[in-house]
């Protein structure tokens, strides 16, 4: 850039409308990152940070500054910069083949460019199937009260997190909420039994609505924005069974969990279920390109072929940037790295180390009520006392995240206005994290807890 950093900072403050913040007051304080390598970020003042939040929104699985991906994108842009959504292309074919190799039971890949768009596509598939095979009746989609599925109106209509939604209604009809499965806040003793009861709560909603009106259920296998919530293993298996009982499609939103984040290629694979539709985005190209996928079984694909069969001569659907060859080339290079460097295994291994570190902190800091998660997708829930599980005041979790930043560690935290909960810290470093870096995360977090709790 020709301009100096102060000029750019001024333009940022006066022109840029930041996501997740409320305008200029907030943007005055946001850092401007200017360089990244691996897990390290540098801001415009030269300060160095260890990023344990994968870009703040769980996006990079392979870390910053990967030349291999940049080269693949460059090469594809030079060979052919074309939008081949309705044509055949080399990178789309090669990525789909490789991706499906990690997803037994799944068969077809539809490309688009964001997590929201991938979920929208899944919803439209449900509607098309309802129209073709159920006289339009089985059109309703069930979602959970702490899950998030996107920023568009349909995906927001399918998201819980009441306060986030409150200014955007009226919502699309046909989306119905059911209660989440949050073990930590369950009132029930046995965890697996709790999973079964939570699934039964979903079934109750299906019966209330009438199974002949419900077409699908959408679930985050491990809830992200709602507070890093892994289910008991009985839960998703039971959800699958209930979906089969009432002929519902099971949609897994792997926008965050996908591509190794949780220590398996996909989050649902921890739970021994095969969904009908899987959506994914962030880790697909680790943020090097905007790309998302809606992946289906062959059965779903065939139903949609049949639904669309009488429309030869015009098409029903398209995503301009979903056909972007350079994005697909980035996705292929990203997947090659995850595979070659064994990052799924590393996610599981380093996740265990990080979790063990959190448990040690929990022995020393009483405000840690729960530590949980899988792989490198972990959360710490803060409470005023462990008996009542009363969430801490929002200022405490904010103060800990701010202290971490001061000590050169970037972490995430839930935000009440987005999730209803403001007391959960979250951790999702790039899957390339080393043992030494895990220890740095723990050490800096320990300092932040110490600083904040000292004065309490
Ligand atoms: N699903 C989940 C689980 C998400 O966390 C997000 C984004 N945070 C989305 C969908 C939407 O993805 P995008 O922002 O790329 O549209």
Q: Is residue 50 part of a domain?
A: yes
Please say whether the beta carbons of 261 and 57 come within 8 A: no
Q: Is residue 14 part of a domain?
A: no
Please say whether the beta carbons of 119 and 217 come within 8 A: no
Q: Taking residues 215-223, what's their average pLDDT? A: 97
* pTM of structure: 0.96
What is the reported pLDDT for 89?
92
pLDDT in tens, 10-23: 888 888 887 766 54
Q: Residues 324, 393: one domain?
A: no
CA distance 153 to 435: 42
- Ligand 1: residue of 53, 116, 419 to mutate (most ligand atoms within 8 A of CB) is 116
Q: Residues 242, 385: one domain?
A: no
Q: Residues 414, 295: one domain?
A: no
What is the reported pLDDT for 417?
58
pLDDT in tens, 400-427: 999 999 999 999 998 765 566 789 999 9
Q: Residues 74, 201: one domain?
A: yes
What is the reported pLDDT for 25?
47
* Exposure string for 163-187, b = 16+ CB within 10 A, e = fewer: ebeeeeeeeeebbbbbebbbbebbe
Beta-sheet pairing, 409-410 with 412-413:
unpaired
Q: Residues 289, 363: one domain?
A: no
Atom number of ligand 1 nearest to Cα 116: 16
Query: Ramachandran region of residue 132, left (φ > 0), alpha (ψ -120 to 50) or beta?
Result: alpha
Q: Residues 413, 319: one domain?
A: no
Cα 6 to ligand 1 centroid, rounded to whole Å: 32
What is the reported pLDDT for 84?
82
Cα 415 to ligand 1 centroid, rounded to whole Å: 15
Ligand 1 interacting residues, C-beta cut-off 6 A:
57, 114-116, 119, 148-151, 220, 224-225, 253, 255-256, 281
Nearest-CA residue for atom 10 of ligand 1: 149
Nearest-CA residue for atom 8 of ligand 1: 57
Q: Residues 299, 355: one domain?
A: no
Q: Is residue 150 part of a domain?
A: yes
Give the CATH number for residue 96: 3.40.640.10
Q: Cβ atoms within 10 A of the Cβ of 324, count?
A: 27
Q: Residues 439, 320: one domain?
A: no
| Res 188 pLDDT > 70 | no
Q: Is residue 22 part of a domain?
A: no
Distances (CA, A) of 236 to 205, 287, 294, 369: 16, 29, 20, 25
Cα 311 to ligand 1 centroid, rounded to whole Å: 31
Q: Residues 416, 441: one domain?
A: yes
- How high is the ipTM of this complex? 0.99
| Res 100 pLDDT > 60 | yes
Higher-pLDDT residue of 351 and 305 is: 351
Query: In the listed set 312, 340, 368, which residue is the last one of a domain according to the structure?
Result: 340
Atom number of ligand 1 nearest to Cα 282: 15
- Ligand 1: residue of 114, 118, 150 to mutate (most ligand atoms within 8 A of CB) is 150
Q: Residues 53, 72: one domain?
A: no
Q: Taking residues 94-117, what's their average pLDDT? A: 98
Q: Is residue 8 part of a domain?
A: no
Give the CATH number for residue 377: 3.90.1150.10
Q: Output DSSP code: residue 64.
A: B
Query: In the listed set 290, 317, 340, which residue is the last one of a domain according to the structure?
Result: 340
Q: Taking residues 205-212, what's their average pLDDT? A: 98
| Res 250 pLDDT > 80 | yes
Q: Residues 211, 231: one domain?
A: yes
Atom number of ligand 1 nearest to Cα 223: 3
Cα 148 to ligand 1 centroid, rounded to whole Å: 7
Q: Is residue 354 part of a domain?
A: yes
Long-range (24+ apart) CB contacts under 8 A made by 41-49 are: 41/410, 44/5, 44/8, 44/9, 47/408, 48/408, 49/405, 49/408, 49/409, 49/410
Q: Structurally, how many domains does the chain consist of?
A: 2
| Res 326 pLDDT > 60 | yes
Query: 83: pLDDT confidence band, cut at 50, 70 and 90?
Result: confident
Nearest-CA residue for atom 14 of ligand 1: 115
Q: Is residue 433 part of a domain?
A: yes
Q: What are phi and psi of 118, to 5 degrees?
A: -65, -40
pLDDT in tens, 276-294: 999 999 999 999 999 999 9
Q: Is residue 24 part of a domain?
A: no
Omega before 51 within 30 of 0, i.e. cis = no
Query: In the listed set 311, 340, 369, which residue is the last one of a domain according to the structure?
Result: 340
Q: Residues 49, 122: one domain?
A: no
Residue range of the domain that includes 329: 68-340
Q: Taking residues 84-98, what's their average pLDDT? A: 92
Cα 444 to ligand 1 centroid, rounded to whole Å: 28
Query: 221: pLDDT confidence band, cut at 50, 70 and 90?
Result: very high
């Amino acid at each position: 850039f020709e301009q100096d950093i102060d000029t750019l900072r001024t333009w940022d403050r006066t022109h840029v409308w930041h996501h997740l913040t409320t305008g200029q007051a907030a943007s005055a304080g946001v850092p401007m990152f200017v360089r990244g390598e691996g897990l390290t970020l540098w801001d415009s003042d030269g300060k160095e940070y260890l990023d344990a939040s994968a870009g703040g929104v769980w996006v990079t699985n392979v870390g910053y500054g990967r030349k291999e991906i940049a080269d693949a994108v460059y090469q594809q842009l030079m060979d052919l910069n074309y939008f081949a959504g309705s044509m055949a292309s080399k990178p789309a074919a090669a990525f789909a083949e490789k991706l499906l190799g990690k997803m037994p039971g799944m068969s077809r890949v539809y490309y688009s460019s964001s997590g929201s768009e991938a979920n929208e596509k899944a919803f439209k598939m449900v509607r098309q199937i309802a129209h073709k095979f159920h006289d339009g009746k089985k059109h309703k989609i069930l979602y959970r009260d702490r899950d998030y599925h996107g920023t568009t109106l349909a995906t927001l209509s399918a998201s819980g997190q009441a306060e986030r939604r409150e200014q955007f209604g009226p919502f699309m009809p046909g989306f119905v909420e059911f209660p989440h499965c949050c073990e930590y806040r369950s009132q029930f003793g046995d965890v697996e039994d709790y999973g079964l009861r939570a699934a039964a709560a979903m079934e109750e909603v299906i019966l209330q609505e009438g199974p002949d009106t419900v077409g699908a259920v959408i679930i985050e296998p491990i809830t992200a924005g709602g507070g890093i919530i892994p289910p008991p293993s009985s839960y998703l298996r039971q959800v699958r069974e209930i979906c089969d009982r009432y002929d519902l499609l099971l949609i897994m939103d792997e926008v965050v969990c996908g591509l190794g984040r949780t220590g398996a290629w996909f989050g649902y694979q921890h739970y021994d279920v095969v969904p009908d539709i899987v959506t994914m985005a962030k880790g697909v190209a680790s943020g090097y390109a905007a790309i998302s996928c809606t992946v289906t079984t062959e059965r779903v694909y065939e139903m949609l072929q049949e639904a669309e069969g009488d429309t030869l001569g015009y098409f029903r659907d398209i995503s301009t940037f979903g056909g972007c060859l350079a994005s697909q080339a980035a996705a292929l290079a990203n997947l090659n790295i995850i595979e070659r460097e064994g990052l799924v295994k590393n996610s599981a291994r380093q996740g265990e180390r990080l979790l063990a570190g959190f448990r040690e902190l929990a022995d020393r800091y009483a405000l840690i009520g729960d530590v949980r998660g899988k792989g490198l997708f972990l959360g710490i829930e803060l409470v005023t006392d462990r008996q009542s599980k009363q969430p801490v005041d929002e200022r405490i979790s904010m103060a800990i995240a701010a202290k971490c930043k001061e000590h050169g560690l970037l972490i995430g935290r839930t935000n009440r206005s987005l999730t209803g909960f403001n007391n959960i810290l979250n951790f999702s470093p790039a899957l390339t994290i080393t043992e030494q870096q895990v220890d740095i995360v723990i050490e800096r977090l320990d300092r932040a807890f110490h600083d904040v709790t000292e004065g309490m």
